[in-house]
């Protein structure tokens, strides 16, 4: 018999967490609100122990950064080893091999026949900022097209590209110019025809002035939205027709979560640029842009970069992430986790009227909660009540969506079947408590 992974020994938050919270409230800005009301002491795989000795199952995976789980041995060893050799030079002062090795490995993983190169940065937003700069320099055009529901970051430019006004944009303007937003054909809420899309584009901005279209192949923060069938292929054709670069934001969907290394590989598409971050280095700050070599050949020396980009410890961690993905066959694991999760989500959908849509690719599965399946009025309060109920019972469960009404899985692919099942049982019980039956 397998024993349960969840172990709650104190009230949540426990006394030590409450003590730290009191200090946090004094010294850390309100803006850093947290999902978990407790403080972590250590993590392993999909499990997290708090400072009071309670153990939780973590479905957030550090908001999608921990495809290989908390503290995998070989990543920890590589970090220790590299930290003892050198922690920083700035690659443009004194170059080091792990930067080049990781670039080579990632370039070879990108889909399509064109030779590729890889530039490294620190965060997802920085990768997107640079993808925009590169697109503008290469095309000599200014306009950038993005989508409803998109999340691309919180810097001035990427905040402008992000859709959700509150909390990400409200009061933080003025925004960056030349960003144009179009609806995303979304099978659940907006089944627009593709011809309408081209009409909308042309009405908004001259396609000959557009440098890049930036799209998440599977929207993450927007609520795990898989664009309508055929749309991404259509968009690739449209961008090629007008000389626009196709930029895939794989910051959340990349690194195997969907069952392919990049989500865009579910389609027959070669993007011009791919932005990566999150799971790239097991939680260390690292991001990158894979681009066609012919594009990078037009970006002059020192015009992109930054002091900390491609940190050697993060690059070593990134190489180990790729080794683990390969050796532990994590793409197959994502498919298996996704299949099991989807079956459980479909099962709760049958039982609880509040769940109206289950969707995703591989292990990137979500479900949308609505008050009424006809009006599709988002059930935001209920969704957050489910998350809180999960927390009280040992599961850290992430939500998402423009309306905050989507429960989503960002769990590590290192989770065991037993832990996954146990976590999903907690979720099921939370839904039963909050949403009742049909
Ligand atoms: C699709 C996508 N793009 C960009 C970002 C921004 O990444 P970062 O928070 O590392 O700046 C995120 C973060 O959630 C994301 O999900």
Do 88 and 41 have their domain in common? no
pLDDT computed for residue 67 by the predictor: 98
Residues 132, 173, single domain; the answer is yes
> What mean pLDDT is predicted for residues 322-332?
98
Would the pLDDT of 66 be above 50? Answer: yes
Angle between helices 417-435 and 380-392 (to 10 degrees): 130
Percentage of the residues of the chain whose pLDDT score is greater than 90:
96
Q: Indicate whether 2 pLDDT > 80.
A: no
For residue 24, how far is its CA from the centre of ligand 1 (angstroms)?
25
- Asked if pLDDT for residue 367 goes beyond 50, the answer is yes
Q: Residue 6 falls within a domain, yes or no?
A: no
- Domain-located, residue 64: no
The Cα–Cα gap between 388 and 323 comes to: 36
**Residues 321, 184 share a domain:** yes
Residue 1 has pLDDT above 60, yes or no: no
Choosing from 264, 294, 327, the residue where a domain stops is: 327
251 lines ligand 1 (CB under 6 A): yes
How much of the chain exceeds pLDDT 70, in percent? 99
- Identify whether residues 281 and 404 lie together within a single domain: no
Establish whether residue 220 lines the binding site of ligand 1, counting it when its CB lies within 6 angstroms of any ligand atom.
yes
Residue 364 · residue 258 · CB < 8 Å: yes
Indicate whether 347 and 207 sit together in one domain. Answer: no
pLDDT bin (cut points 50, 70, 90) of residue 195 is confident
251-309 per-position pLDDT tens digit: 999 999 999 999 999 999 999 999 999 999 999 999 999 999 999 999 999 999 999 99
Ligand 1 contacts CB of residue 249 (under 6 A): yes
- Ligand 1, residues 153, 264, 271: which to mutate, most atoms within 8 A of Cβ? 153
Q: Is the four-CA dihedral 391, 395, 398, 403 of positive or negative sign?
A: negative
Q: Is residue 176 part of a domain?
A: yes
pTM, rounded to two decimals: 0.98
Q: Are residues 320 and 337 in the same domain?
A: no
Q: Write the CATH number for 357.
A: 3.90.1150.10
What pLDDT score does 437 carry?
Answer: 64
Q: Which of these three, 327, 342, 375, is where a domain ends?
A: 327
- Whether 2 is covered by a domain: the verdict is no
Confidence band (pLDDT; 50, 70, 90) for 381?
A: very high
As a whole number, mean pLDDT of residues 342-365 equals 97
Contact 324, 68 (CB under 8 A): yes
- Which residue has its alpha carbon closest to ligand 1 atom 4? 152
Are 313 and 335 in the same domain?
no
Measured from the CB, is residue 219 less than 6 Å from ligand 1? no
Show which of 327, 350, 373 is a domain's final residue.
327
Tell me, yes or no, whether 208 and 132 share the same domain: yes
The verdict on 53 and 80 lying in the same domain is: no
**Confidence bin at 191 (pLDDT 50/70/90):** confident
Query: What is the arithmetic mean of pLDDT over 121-147?
Result: 98
* CA distances to 33, 43, 189, 334, 373 from 233, in Å: 39, 40, 20, 24, 30
65 falls within a domain? no
Same domain, 129 and 261: yes
Residues 307 and 363 placed together within one structural domain of the fold: no
Q: Which domain holds residue 54?
A: 15-58+329-435
On whether both 99 and 24 belong to a single domain, the answer is no
> If you measure from the C-alpha of residue 101 to the centroid of ligand 1, how many angstroms do you get, rounded to a whole number?
24
């Amino acid at each position: 018999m397998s024993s349960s992974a969840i172990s709650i020994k104190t009230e949540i938050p426990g006394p030590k967490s409450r003590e730290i919270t009191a200090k946090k409230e004094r010294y850390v800005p309100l803006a850093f609100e947290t999902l978990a009301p407790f403080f972590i002491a250590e993590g392993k795989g999909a499990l997290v122990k708090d400072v009071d000795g309670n153990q939780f199952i973590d479905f957030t995976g550090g908001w999608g950064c921990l495809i290989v789980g908390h503290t995998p041995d070989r990543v920890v060893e590589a970090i220790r080893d590299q930290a003892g050799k050198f922690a920083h030079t700035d690659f443009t002062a004194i170059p080091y091999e792990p930067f080049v090795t990781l670039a080579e490995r990632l370039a070879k993983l990108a889909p399509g026949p064109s030779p590729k190169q890889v530039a490294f940065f620190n965060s997802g937003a920085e990768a997107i900022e640079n993808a925009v700069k590169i697109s503008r320099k290469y095309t000599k055009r200014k306009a950038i097209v993005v989508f409803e529901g998109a999340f691309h970051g919180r810097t001035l430019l990427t905040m402008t590209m992000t859709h959700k006004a509150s909390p990400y944009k409200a009061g933080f303007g003025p925004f960056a110019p030349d960003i144009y937003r179009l609806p995303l054909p979304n099978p659940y809420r907006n089944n627009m025809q593709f011809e309408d899309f081209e009409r909308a584009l042309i009405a908004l901005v001259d396609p000959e002035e557009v440098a890049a279209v930036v799209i998440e192949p599977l929207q993450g923060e927007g609520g795990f939205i898989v664009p309508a069938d055929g749309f991404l292929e259509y968009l690739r054709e449209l961008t090629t027709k007008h000389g626009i670069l196709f930029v895939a934001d794989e910051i959340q969907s990349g690194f195997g979560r969907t069952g392919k290394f990049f989500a865009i590989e579910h389609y027959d598409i070669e993007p011009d640029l791919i932005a990566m971050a999150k799971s790239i280095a097991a939680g260390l700050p690292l991001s990158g842009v894979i681009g066609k070599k012919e594009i990078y050949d037009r970006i002059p020396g020192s015009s992109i970069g930054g002091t900390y980009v491609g940190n050697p410890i993060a690059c070593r961690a990134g190489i180990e992430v790729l080794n683990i993905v390969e050796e532990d066959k994590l793409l197959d694991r994502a498919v298996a986790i996704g299949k099991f999760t989807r079956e459980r989500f479909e099962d709760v959908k049958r039982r609880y009227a509040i769940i109206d849509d289950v969707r995703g690719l591989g292990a990137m599965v979500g479900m949308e909660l609505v008050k009424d399946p006809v009006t599709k009025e988002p059930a935001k309060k209920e969704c957050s009540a489910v998350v809180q109920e999960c927390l009280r019972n040992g599961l850290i469960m992430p939500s998402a969506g423009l309306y905050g009404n989507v429960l989503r899985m960002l769990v590590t692919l290192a989770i065991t079947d037993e832990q996954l099942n146990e976590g999903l049982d907690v979720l099921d019980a939370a839904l039963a408590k909050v949403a009742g039956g049909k």
